[in-house]
Amino acid sequence: MNNLFRQMLICEKKIHQIKLDSIQDDFNQNEWIIMNSLYEVQVEKVLENDAMKHPGVRCLAEMMQCTPPMISKILRGLEKKDMITRSMDQQDKRNVQVTLTEFGKEKVKEGRIVLAAYTDQIVKRFGEEKLGQIIDFMNEFYEVSKEVMNDMNTENN
């Protein structure tokens, strides 16, 4: 394995070791992503699409790029913590709608305060310009990596 590839793997591992739950102990990273997404559509109303106001398991799985069973497991945990409720979609009984509880909304507000303080410290230490460059490079790296994987998959088929 060449040195550059090894360094890329080490860097990726380090990034994945930064865990949200070390600064916010009410929920883990996957739970936070779901909770924050629900907050955006149900409280802040960032989407005009009615279907997204109370997304179901399939919609959340697509958003998080994981399987519906994994989403169901995360939702069960959030439901046990009284962060969300699940109810049958009245227009399509096969679907389950997910809604933040008032307690869940409060926890998201608290979590956002903690994350804002964390983000402010990162920006202070890195500088806004340098952090913007890192984000741009990471996005570009992601796109190039995705293209290379697609090209390699096409060649192998």
Q: What is the mean pLDDT of residues 28-43?
A: 89
CATH numbers and ranges of domains, the chain: 21-126 (1.10.10.10)
Query: How far is the CA of 40 from the CAs of 17, 57, 76, 135, 137, in angstroms?
Result: 26, 17, 21, 22, 27
Res 51: pLDDT? 55
Over residues 62-120, the pLDDT tens digits come to 888 889 999 999 999 999 999 999 988 777 777 788 999 999 999 999 999 988 998 99
Over residues 138-149, the pLDDT tens digits come to 999 989 999 999
- Please give the Cα distance from 15 to 24 (Å, whole number): 17
* pTM of model > 0.85: no
Query: How far is the CA of 11 from the CAs of 6, 15, 29, in angstroms?
Result: 9, 6, 19
